[in-house]
Homo-oligomer: A and B are copies of this chain.
Amino acid sequence: MTKTSAGNFFEDFSLGQEIVHATPRTVTEGDVSLYTALYGSRFAVQSADSFAMDIGYPAAPVDDMLVFHIVFGKTVTDISINAVANLGYADCRFLAPVFPGDSLGAKSEVIGLRQLSNGKAGVVYVRSRGTNQNGEPVLDYARWVMVQKRDPDAPAPDTHIPELPDAVAPARLGEMLPPIDAGAYDTGLAGSPHLWGDYEAGEKIDHVDGMTIEEAEHQLATRLYQNTAKVHFNAHAQKDSRFGRRLIYGGHVISLARALGFNGLGNAFHVAAINGGSHVSPCFAGDTVYAWSEVLERAELPGRDDVGALRIRTVAAKDLPCAEFPYKSGDGYAEGVLLDLDYWALLPR
């Protein structure tokens, strides 16, 4: 019996199946420093214990996207190592703050299956959940990927496509956020005067700066997340791939866009939910990432007057400054667009 795992193929999944993912991981101050070094993020709540404690946190929480990447990384080996395509994600909610010292684990439940008509692959829908060392959920999201079949002749499962919301409802946001002492939130220290009430639906913000990605950077990031997807690390094998080179993990682009977004969204300190997102085109080392955002909606959180939510579309583009807000073009995306991300962020009111 071979000791190596080839991962799961489409016929290995069954509806309702629960998968516990390896490897548990203690998040540390070292991870936080690397995250800062990789993206240059400057949100004050995540940057300084002093700032976080002033507004009611016990310490600076770990960046939400770092939590996402670590939990996501665990699922790759079991869910998407044989994926042909990452099709989408939805209903992603951050459920409890994570602090250095917390140990994260992850499991997934298969919530949908649909074999392709050609019989060679199928779409697997999973709901994945990250938990801390006390078993408390910290992150929950649905994701669907197209996975190859090992044996094209394996029988097709019954088709089941789960219903997933277009967006997380405002009432479900902010569960993880302790009550914030908004009066103690120092906008001068935070680096932006613009609070929740200063934004309006339809407003577009060019984040101005661009950042070039190096091979070493995305490899360090993706290994930090213990993400094992081969396409990110193996130049030798990728030579013969469609693109001829290593692909950058889509989450790396999300984190860069989020960090660039500080310039214009400096008080949007907490990503409460991700409604959906598309990695529109591949990103490679040497690409310079720019980003812009549009405020899609402004929402109150029921029962809370300390923070409010903005639904934001952040678009990242490569080698393309975003002063003119590049987005769609005809039926598809404009040339150069990398990422179309729809999420909820919370800001002090």
A265: interface (CB < 8 Å): yes
Q: Are B26 and A28 in contact (CB under 8 A)?
A: no
Q: Are B20 and A188 in contact (CB under 8 A)?
A: yes
Q: Which of B4, B26, B34 is close to A47, meaning CB atoms less than 8 Å apart?
A: B26
Q: Are A5 and B235 in contact (CB under 8 A)?
A: no
CB distance from A42 to the nearest CB of B (A): 5
A134 to chain B: closest residue by CB:
B50
Q: Which of B22, B33, B223 is close to A190, meaning CB atoms less than 8 Å apart?
A: B22
Report the bound CA distance from A347 to B191 in whole Å.
39
Bits for A221-237, please: 1 = Cβ < 8 Å to B, else 0: 11110101010011111
Bits for A166-197, please: 1 = Cβ < 8 Å to B, else 0: 00000000000000000000001111101000
A305: interface (CB < 8 Å): no
Q: Are A42 and B29 in contact (CB under 8 A)?
A: no
Report the bound CA distance from A43 to B25 in whole Å.
10
Q: Are B246 and A233 in contact (CB under 8 A)?
A: no
CB distance from A257 to the nearest CB of B (A): 14
Q: Are A43 and B30 in contact (CB under 8 A)?
A: no
A56: interface (CB < 8 Å): no
Report the bound CA distance from A220 to B51 in whole Å.
24
Q: Are B39 and A23 in contact (CB under 8 A)?
A: no
Q: Which of B105, B189, B223, B319 is close to A20, meaning CB atoms less than 8 Å apart?
A: B189
A158: interface (CB < 8 Å): no
A3: interface (CB < 8 Å): yes
Q: A22-B190, A28-B29 are in contact. Are A236 and B220 (CB under 8 A)?
A: no
A277: interface (CB < 8 Å): no
CB distance from A101 to the nearest CB of B (A): 8
List 13 A–B pairs whose Cβ atoms lie within 8 Å, in order of A's numbering: A4-B207, A4-B208, A4-B263, A5-B263, A22-B192, A24-B51, A26-B49, A30-B30, A36-B226, A37-B224, A49-B103, A49-B133, A217-B219
Measured CB to CB, the residues of A under 8 A from B are 2-5, 20, 22-26, 28-34, 36-40, 42-44, 47-51, 60, 77, 100-101, 103, 105, 133, 188-192, 194, 198-199, 203, 205-212, 214-217, 219-224, 226, 228, 230, 233-237, 246, 263-266, 286, 288, 319, 321
